[in-house]
């Protein structure tokens, strides 16, 4: 039976899965950490891939890389990186996002690229580079995304041979999911001149081979990887709780939301992936857990010991600034603190605050016509029992948690298996029965949260 490898090069780590191409059964897996911070030398991802993939990549007949989206990898004429990559969660390009939006208007950006600009998107990072590091900008001849760069390295290819895919191209701000074409004028508007860009490969294309001869598939943005790994259908909406919180579903029509809440991404199969992304998710729990001095299990026990509403405590979880809503300079706000507050209330407020931000994402997707018939919870923080049990009350819908797996890496593996098969459609793999969590909406939680969110809006731009 053929083996294929799928890679998730995400914000905090690289995960590799080795699976049977026909069934999707996971044979082995590996993991390696990335450095902290919102910029990163791409070489660190390459080293993490070697470590996480040791003994696995060698066995694969085909391999595919999914990666954190939007990161700017700028290369010079020798294909050397010009500076550390600026990651999706780096907010320094917020002024450039604001300027570019003001120049053309949010409606025009949404119509041309499917996006209303926030600091996350690559095009704003290029504008920052041009403005703040003219020497590095002058050296730059090509730009690509983290998964494009890793795919190029796996093939031993040059930047002129590099490829990307629809899903990741759709997060740049200079490619349109609606037309399937680059929008070079938008890149020139931001950077001042044209740059070489990776070719956008077909979803199941074989873009090259590793030096050992394994086929290389085009790869995907990480959220599209998860959608492929889960085999999303109509009515399925994913809430992914990693470093980012993402809320997304697959659609047959591209989104162009002029409010900027929903990003009009493409998926990894030829369809579309309307998506809402917050900068803050699992790390909100990590931070509060650190302050409380407890491990994951103790944190869950605390959060579950408190009543819904956390005794009136509300956490607005914009700890690292925020992207949705667009408040890049915001900080977290804890409201309702009294002498009666307990450690349990604090843990619960963190869980409720993080989930409430995702509930806003569900509402934004619904406003774009993507109503959730079921919500699938994945990502690192979906392992938390407190998160699982609290989610239905915050979202107002039942929640399913698929069996624990790295769904982004699994999606990449599925793409590799698809390319290897030469078929028109991806393989159908059974991911197993989800755990189901029931509950009805707790009005007090959403009221506390939306009041704090709206009250803080006028002053939330001060950091």
Annotated binding residues for substrate: 69-70
C-alpha pair distances (Å), 89 with each of 137, 221, 257, 366:
21, 15, 21, 25
Report what 399 binds from ligand 5SP, ligand ADP, none; CB cut-off 5-8 Å by kind: none
Minimum CB separation of residue 164 from ligand 5SP in Å reads 14
Minimum CB separation of residue 383 from ligand ADP in Å reads 4
Report what 249 binds from ligand 5SP, ligand ADP, none; CB cut-off 5-8 Å by kind: none
* Angle at which helices 385-395 and 443-456 cross, to 10°: 80
Of 91, 27, 62, 166, nearest to 319 (Cα)? 91
Decide if residue 242 touches ligand 5SP (CB under 6 A).
yes
Nearer to ligand ADP, 286 or 398 (CB): 286
C-alpha pair distances (Å), 272 with each of 61, 245, 337:
28, 19, 43
Does residue 325 have a cis peptide bond before it, meaning omega lies within 30 degrees of 0? yes
Question: Judged by CB under 6 A, which of 223, 324, 368, 384 binds ligand 5SP?
Answer: 223
Give the number of C-alpha atoms closer than 13 A to the C-alpha of residue 457, restricted to the C-beta side. Answer: 9
Binding part of the chain for ligand 5SP, among 50-58, 96-104, 131-139, 240-248 by CB under 6 A, reads: 240-248
Backbone angles phi, psi at 199, to 5 degrees: -70, 140
Could you say which residues in the range 340-359 bind ligand 5SP, by CB under 6 A? none
Contacts of 31-38 spanning 24+ positions with Cβ under 8 A = 34/10, 37/87, 38/86, 38/87, 38/89, 38/90, 38/91
Decide if residue 88 touches ligand 5SP (CB under 6 A).
yes
Decide if residue 11 touches ligand 5SP (CB under 6 A).
yes
Q: How far apart are CA 187 and CA 72, in angstroms?
A: 13
Report what 88 binds from ligand ADP, ligand 5SP, none; CB cut-off 5-8 Å by kind: ligand 5SP
Minimum CB separation of residue 211 from ligand 5SP in Å reads 28
Nearer to ligand ADP, 8 or 345 (CB): 8
Decide if residue 10 touches ligand 5SP (CB under 6 A).
yes
Question: Judged by CB under 6 A, which of 120, 164, 280, 326 binds ligand 5SP?
Answer: 120
Report what 69 binds from ligand 5SP, ligand ADP, none; CB cut-off 5-8 Å by kind: ligand 5SP
In 192-295, which ranges are continuous DSSP H helix?
222-230, 282-292
Binding part of the chain for ligand 5SP, among 243-251, 294-302, 333-341, 392-400 by CB under 6 A, reads: 243-251
Minimum CB separation of residue 387 from ligand ADP in Å reads 7
Could you say which residues in the range 41-70 bind ligand 5SP, by CB under 6 A? 68-70
SS3 (DSSP) at 79: coil
Of 426, 435, 360, nearest to 21 (Cα)? 426
Indicate the DSSP class of residue 72. Answer: B
**Is-contact 84 239, C-beta < 8 A?**
no
Report what 209 binds from ligand 5SP, ligand ADP, none; CB cut-off 5-8 Å by kind: none
Is position 84 annotated as part of the catalytic site? no
**Is-contact 183 176, C-beta < 8 A?**
yes
Decide if residue 243 touches ligand 5SP (CB under 6 A).
yes
Nearer to ligand 5SP, 215 or 248 (CB): 248
Binding part of the chain for ligand 5SP, among 101-109, 237-245, 314-322, 329-337 by CB under 6 A, reads: 237-245
Report what 246 binds from ligand 5SP, ligand ADP, none; CB cut-off 5-8 Å by kind: ligand 5SP
Of 110, 37, 407, nearest to 236 (Cα)? 407
SS3 (DSSP) at 84: coil
**Is-contact 257 395, C-beta < 8 A?**
no
Residues binding ligand ADP (CB under 6 A): 10-13, 242-243, 282-283, 285-286, 296, 379-381, 383-384
Report what 113 binds from ligand ADP, ligand 5SP, none; CB cut-off 5-8 Å by kind: none
C-alpha pair distances (Å), 327 with each of 59, 69, 138, 321:
45, 20, 31, 6
Question: Judged by CB under 6 A, which of 244, 324, 326, 368 binds ligand 5SP?
Answer: 244
Nearer to ligand 5SP, 274 or 396 (CB): 274
* Angle at which helices 343-367 and 385-395 cross, to 10°: 50
Q: How far apart are CA 346 and CA 263, in angstroms?
A: 32
**Cα four-point dihedral sign 438, 440, 443, 446:** positive
Decide if residue 246 touches ligand 5SP (CB under 6 A).
yes
Decide if residue 453 touches ligand 5SP (CB under 6 A).
no
Q: Which of 222, 236, 300, 320 is catalytic?
A: 222
Decide if residue 34 touches ligand 5SP (CB under 6 A).
no
SS3 (DSSP) at 430: coil
Residues with a known catalytic role: 222
Residues that bind ligand 5SP (CB under 6 A): 10-11, 68-70, 88, 120, 171, 222-223, 242-244, 246, 277
């Amino acid at each position: 039976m053929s083996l294929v490898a799928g890679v998730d090069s995400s914000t905090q780590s690289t995960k590799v899965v080795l699976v049977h191409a026909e069934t999707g059964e996971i044979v082995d897996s590996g993991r390696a950490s990335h450095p902290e911070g919102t910029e990163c030398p791409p070489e660190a991802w390459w080293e993490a891939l070697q470590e996480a993939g040791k003994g696995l990549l060698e066995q694969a007949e085909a391999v595919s890389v999914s990666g954190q989206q939007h990161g700017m990898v700028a290369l010079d004429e020798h294909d050397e990186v010009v500076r550390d990559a600026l990651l999706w969660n780096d907010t320094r390009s917020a002024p450039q996002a604001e300027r570019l939006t003001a120049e053309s208007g949010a409606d025009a950006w949404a119509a041309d690229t499917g996006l209303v600009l926030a600091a996350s998107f690559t095009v704003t990072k290029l504008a920052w580079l041009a403005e703040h590091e003219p020497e590095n900008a002058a050296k730059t001849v090509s730009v690509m995304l983290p998964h494009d760069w890793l795919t190029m390295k796996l093939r031993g290819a040059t930047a002129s041979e590099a490829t990307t895919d629809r899903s990741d191209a759709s997060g740049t701000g200079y490619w349109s999911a609606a037309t399937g074409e680059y929008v070079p004028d938008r890149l020139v508007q931001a950077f001042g001149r044209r740059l070489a860009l990776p070719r956008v490969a077909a979803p199941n294309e074989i873009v090259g081979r590793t030096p050992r001869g394994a086929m290389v598939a085009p790869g995907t943005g990480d959220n599209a990887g998860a959608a492929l790994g889960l085999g999303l259908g109509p009515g399925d909406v994913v809430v992914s709780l990693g470093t980012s919180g993402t809320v997304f579903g697959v659609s047959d029509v591209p989104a162009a939301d002029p409010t900027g809440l929903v990003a009009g991404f493409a998926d990894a199969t030829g369809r579309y992936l309307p998506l809402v992304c917050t900068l803050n998710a699992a790390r909100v729990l990590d931070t509060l857990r650190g302050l409380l001095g407890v491990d994951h299990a103790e944190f869950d026990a605390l959060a579950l010991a408190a009543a819904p509403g956390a005794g009136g405590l509300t956490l607005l979880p914009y700890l690292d600034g925020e992207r949705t809503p667009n408040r890049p300079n915001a900080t977290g706000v804890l409201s309702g603190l009294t002498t009666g507050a307990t450690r349990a209330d604090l843990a619960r407020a963190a869980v409720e605050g993080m989930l409430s931000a995702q509930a806003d994402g569900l509402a934004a997707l619904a406003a774009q016509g993507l109503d959730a018939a079921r919500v699938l919870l994945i990502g690192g923080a979906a392992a938390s029992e407190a998160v699982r049990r609290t989610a239905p009350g915050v979202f107002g819908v039942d929640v399913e948690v698929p069996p624990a797996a790295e769904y982004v890496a699994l999606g990449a593996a599925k793409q590799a298996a698809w390319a290897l098969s030469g078929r028109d459609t991806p393989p159908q793999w059974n991911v197993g029965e989800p755990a189901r969590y029931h509950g009805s909406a707790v009005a007090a939680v959403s009221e506390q949260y939306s009041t704090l969110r709206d009250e803080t809006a006028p002053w939330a731009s001060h950091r």
